[in-house]
Amino acid sequence: MLAEIHNKISQAGSNLSDRLEDKLTGDFFGTIRYLPFELGLKHVFVTVEFSQDQIKKNWLKFIEEQKGYIVQWEFWHRGEEGEIDLLISNDKAVIGIEVKYLSGISSEDQDDGIQDYTESLNQLARYSRMMEKLSNGREAYLLFLAPYEMMNTVKKNIDNRSIISPSVKLGFMCWQDILESLKSLNLDGLEIGQQLILNDLQALLTKKGFIRFNGFSSKIFNQPITRTAYSFNHEDSISEGTWAWPGKIIEEDVFYVYNND
């Protein structure tokens, strides 16, 4: 719905696809905002990875303190540095989230040697400058959300460079971790509407293919192993009664004609 309201989907629906990144952004975050922070967004934000332990501790303390509907939401904020998918803010912090589904970083430096965040064309570098301007004395966070493989690749690329504004904390999230976090919630005691929202969010991410492989079921390894042969029986199996052996011995250097009768 939000993607359509914000003109991310054409009126004719010609660009509507289950691969559409903006639709996933609107569907997921546009739904979770109907929950109080401690029931919804907190369980998304708890999955954020930061490069420094102290930043992670401060982040966890910040999200633990947030209750109710105390944050403002702005989808697809456009500034001089581009359009970021989501801004979440209150009087303590401003959080920018760049959401990826199937497409990667939209812009990158041609010269990998660029280390100055004021010059870099990398999408996250540009958005860090945006967050720096929007902070107005508040803590500024820039979060990159993507499927795990993409998130990990971008994280490794950024970790070795100094292209993020030093006043902005860069964090990484993956859809798989978010789905696991939501699935771990105990929905007992919640209002029926809240249960429906959380169940729908899990179903959406599952539909998108963000299920994490957690190993084989322990039942597989509890089967007894014996030295006896395994037999396979099927009504179409070949048996001795159905074998048709040739009636004459095949000799070398002799020509034969195959008859299908």
**Residue 231: CA atoms inside 13 Å, Cβ hemisphere, count?**
5
Q: With the CA atoms of 9, 15, 17 and 19 taken in that order, what torsion angle do they form, in degrees rounded to the nearest 10?
A: -90
- For position 223, what pLDDT does the model report? 61
Contact 43, 181 (CB under 8 A): yes
pLDDT per residue as tens digits for the range 46-84: 999 999 999 999 999 999 999 999 999 999 999 999 999
- For position 116, what pLDDT does the model report? 79
Q: Which two tokens stand for residue 21?
A: 């990144």
Residue 18 has pLDDT above 60, yes or no: no
Pairing, β 139-146 against β 93-99: parallel
Q: Is the pTM of this model over 0.85?
A: no
Task: Give CA–CA dist 115/35, Å, rounded.
Answer: 40
pLDDT per residue as tens digits for the range 98-136: 999 988 887 888 766 666 788 888 999 999 999 999 999
CA terminus-to-terminus distance, the chain: 67
- For position 52, what pLDDT does the model report? 93
State the CB neighbour count (10 A cutoff) for residue 131: 25
27-51 b/e (C-beta count within 10 Å ≥ 16 → b): bbbbbbbebebebbbbbbbebbbbe
Give the pLDDT band (50/70/90) at residue 15: very low
Give the pLDDT band (50/70/90) at residue 21: confident
Q: Which residue has the higher pLDDT, 207 or 248?
A: 207
User: Quick one: 203 exposed, middle or buried, by C-beta within 10 A (0-12, 13-18, 19+)?
Assistant: exposed
- For position 236, what pLDDT does the model report? 58
Adjacency order of strands within the sheet including 168-174: 49-50, 168-174, 139-146, 93-99, 82-89, 72-79
Q: Which residue has the higher pLDDT, 118 or 93?
A: 93
Residue 175's closest CA among 207, 197, 199? 207
Contact 85, 98 (CB under 8 A): yes
Residue 121's closest CA among 134, 132, 110? 110
pLDDT per residue as tens digits for the range 161-197: 889 999 999 999 999 999 999 999 999 999 999 999 9
Contact 71, 65 (CB under 8 A): no
- For position 133, what pLDDT does the model report? 96
